[in-house]
Each structure stands twice: as structure tokens, then as C-alpha cells.
Amino acid sequence: MRSLANFAIVALYLVVYPSRAWGQVEFPKASDGYHITQPPDVSRAAPAGYEGRYDEATKTAEGNTPATVGKRYVVHFILSNQVKTCPLADGRSEGEGVFAVSFDFTNTRPNEGSTLHIGMRAHARYKGKVGDNAVMDGPVNAEIDYTFNQSGSMRGPNGALATSAPSDVAQHITIPFTVVPGMAAPNIGPFAGGDPLHGHYAQAVGVGTALVYWAGIYYSIAETKWLQENTCVQVAFDPPSNSRQPVLGGEAKVNAQIKTKGGEIVKGDFDVVRARAGGVLPGNGPSDAGAPLKLTYTAPSERVNNTGFVAHAKSRAGVAEGEWKTGLGTGWSGQISVSKVDQGDEGNTELQDWSNYEATRITIDVRNGVGTANGYHESRHSGVNRRKALRGGAIVLLFDNSGSNGGTVEGSSKATADVNFNKTSGKYFVGVGYDPFPAGTQHSSSCIREKCTESDSPLYIEGIFLPMSGAIDDLNHVHGTQNTVTSHLGRSGNATQTFTMIWDLARQGTTQ
């Protein structure tokens, strides 16, 4: 991505920092008596669970002639945009972007010592809403905080060091944009906010528009992905697939809901429900938390393969398709699922913003005692700190630092499930086993003013199963639920942790 970074640096010289902003300082060329170095650019895709890119470049000029030795120029550039691939359960679709440039000049020549620092940073937060039809509902708003700072010093002929008063400018603007399907550029709406009299207003709008342009493309990519079945949500059946076997011509009552990979119920609409063999009613309908779509499956009048039905759904968190199968074996068949979700720890004050979310879900689908474990873990943590400064006789808020880390990992492994009965105690115990899940990647970012660092670390799906047991009432069917909600958590006391474990297993008749 060297060509992109080089182009961005040149563009910033011409647009963001017009010549009058630099005074007499311009980045030199090799022919001016400088050794120019530029390490390989850092360029990578956004972390797992996001669409976007991160690009970073640095360019240095060191004086290497008698007239320039002791002079050093460094320009540093960051362009980053990431949009969450999957909307949240309530349809919120979010992301963020950073456009930052810093310029540093030092002159250590005798009797000429001087320094100059110029920094620009634009931090955008994107917030959109997805409708129940799984497409963007209205424009996405980009809330952009722009800061510009300049400081320096100069040594006079008498050797005295004079330090210029620092210059800090802050602008906040809002730019709406409409996502265009097909991974296309967005339609950018009129901006609002900012103060034309406060300085760097046009630059804030220009940099913000550049961020929004790329954000719109990444939003379009994300929308294309969440419209693909089971990328972001899945269909959950109660009772689960393979846990029931109605007699020929008999009926089975099944509830269907849409859930995120983290286990949260999503409002949506089942637009197509069709039987593989037999019949199912109704053929469509809405579902929501506490109001699943209630289905009645009628088994065929003669034995056939591939019995059950398929349900296709659209929701504010994506599109899903699931299949409910029927047919038991002599081993245990059905589903065991566990989820832990920490959410609601988010807020803001005059000087700080924060948001924390974690979700883990493991689902084991088995037939005749063997099957597949599907694991998912998502982590999102972010915080922003601002500082107060006196500028032009008024108090303004300037960006100080920020930090974020998070990632998404999902994978599958082989699994087994069995049930042991203790007739003396009158209780049963469910045992599960599964191989380790593949590791994912967690991405971390830390910014102090316009200086940012990035790093990656492993992200794992940790086991969260608790013992599963209950009273024996049917030697061929065991089921139960554990649900615990812990509230008043997090910094603001508004966060909750929800732990849910459900098991429903059955087998063909036995008298053991």
C-alpha cells in the first residue's frame, strides 16, 4: 500500500496543511541536501469481525551536507477505518475511523537550534441502524472530532531560547452518508456543526469527508456480508433439531427465533418456512424476544429420508437459515448450548467516553452421541479521554488519548455427549466433550494525541459449561435450563451479565 500512503502524504500537504500553515518549513527533497528514508508502510486489513483497513507510513529527511547537517524532518501518517461486520442485536451498526498526521522539525545546528511540531487528528465514530429487512435504515451519521496543534521554539542570535505559545484547535462536525449496495461509494450528505471562526474548519470538513468516503465503502461490504445466511445470525429451534421424532402423520410443536452468534435474541421476520417432507404451518411470520414464531410440523404418512423443515429469516442483525431435523438414534441426540454476555457498560461524560462488551457462546449439536461444537467469542472495549484547554478566552475540549481492544473468533470442533443415570439418587448427569477451538486474533490500539500504536494478540474461546443435572423422569429424554442475570455491573452500574445454559437430549426407547 506504499502508493496509497505516499499519495495521502502529498494530499495532506496540499489540502490539510496549505503552505501558509507551514510557515517557511517544507519537507525537503534529496536534491536539497538530505538523506530520505521511508520504512515499509504498515498496511493490513481490519481485525476479525470488522471490515476496513489500517495504513501507516513514516518519512524522514536527515541533512547530509554542510548546509543542512543537524536538520531533521519527520512526517507520520495514519489512515484507519473499521466497520463492524455484524450489526448488534438491536440493529445498531457501528464503526470508527482515524486520520492522523504529525510533522516534526528539529534543527540542532550551532546558534540555530529550533523545533516545530504540527499535528492533526480526526477521529470519526459511525452510527447507523439496520431495519428488520436486514438493510440499512436511513443514513449513517459520522461524528468527527478534529484537532490541530502546533508548538515550537527558536534560539535567537544571543543564544536565548524562545518558545512560541502552543496552538490547539478543536472542531466537531457531523457528516451523514447513505450506504449504497454492491460495495459502492456512499452518497455523502450535507455536514453540520463546527465553527468557521475557530480555525481549520475547511480542513476538518475535508479530512472528515475523506474518512466518510472510505467508511461508506466498508459499510457496503459489511452489508453484503450480513445479508449472507448465517454470517451474523442463526435460527434457534426449541426443541432443538434431532431431539424429537413424531410418529408417522403425527405433529411436533417447534418454536423458532433468530439469535446473534453471541446468543442474543433478535427481532425479525421468517419470510419462508418450508417442509422437507410432510408439512409445516405457518409458512412465515415474525419473531421477537418472548414471542417466537410457533410452528407445527406434521410428519409424512410414510417413512422417507430427510424429514423436517427449513426456516429462512431476515432481521435487523442479518439473514439466517436453519433446518429442523427429526429422527432419533439409540445414542443421545439434540443440542446443548451455553452463553455468557456482558453488556450495557457504556456511557460518556464531558471528558470521557467508554464502551465494553463481551459475549461467548458454545453450541453442541449431537446425533447418536457424536456431533459438532460451534464456538464463538466477541470482545469490544474502548475508551476516549479529553482535556480542557483555554483558547481565545474560552474553555475548549481537546482529544487527549484513547485506547481500544477487541476481536471476534469462531470455530468448530468434534464433540460428544452422553447422559449418566444415578437411580439411587434419582438424578441424571449430562457429560460433554469437545476438542479445542482454533484461536483468533485480538487487535489493540492506543493513541496519545496524534501518535498511535497498534498490536495483535491471540483470542481464545474459553469453556464456560457448568455441571448439568436434574431429576430422572424419563430415561429417554433429559432437558433443563440454567439462567442467571447479574445486574448493576460496570462503571456506570448499568451493565449486566447474562449466563444461560440449555440442554435438550433424547434417544429412542430404552428400559435401562
Each residue's pLDDT tens digit, 254-303? 999 999 988 889 999 999 999 999 999 999 999 999 999 999 999 999 88
> pLDDT category, 511, cuts 50, 70, 90?
low
Residue 207 near residue 99, CB atoms below 8 Å: yes
Where do we find the cell 476481536?
Answer: 407
> Which band of pLDDT confidence, cut at 50, 70 and 90, is reported for residue 11?
very low
Q: According to the model, what pLDDT value does residue 304 have?
A: 86
Residue by residue, DSSP assigns 398-420 as: EEEEEEEEEEEEEEEEEEEEEEE
Residue range 58-72: mean pLDDT, rounded: 94
pLDDT over threshold 60, residue 250: yes
Whether 203 has a pLDDT exceeding 90, the answer reads: no
- Rounded average pLDDT over 212-238: 96
Could you give the CA distance from residue 49 to residue 10 in angstroms, rounded to a whole number? 32
Closest to 380 (Cα-Cα) out of 402, 401, 355 = 355
| Percent of the chain whose predicted confidence (pLDDT) is above 70 | 91
Contact 397, 386 (CB under 8 A): yes
Q: What element of type H or E holds 25?
A: none
The DSSP 8-state label assigned to residue 166 in this structure reads: P
Average model confidence (pLDDT) for the chain?
88
pLDDT of 222 strictly over 90:
yes
Name the phi and psi angles at 32, rounded to 5.
Answer: -85, 0
Cα–Cα distance between 53 and 46 in angstroms, integer?
Answer: 5
Q: Summarize the confidence of residues 427-447 as an average pLDDT.
A: 92
| 25 — pLDDT class (breaks 50, 70, 90) | low
Split at pLDDT 50, 70, 90, the class of 450 is: low
Q: Which helix (H) or strand (E) holds 8?
A: helix 2-11
User: What does each C-alpha distance from 260 to 211, 341, 398, 456, 466 come to in angstroms?
Assistant: 29, 11, 37, 25, 22
Instruction: Give the contacts of 302 (CB within 8 A, at least 6 positions apart).
Output: 248
pLDDT surpasses 60 at 352: yes
The C-alpha cell at 79 is 489512515
Does residue 239 have a cis bond before it (omega within 30 degrees)?
A: yes
Query: How many residues in total does the chain contain?
Result: 512
* High-pLDDT (> 90) share of the chain, %: 62
CATH number of 233-327: 2.60.40.10
| pTM given for the model | 0.84
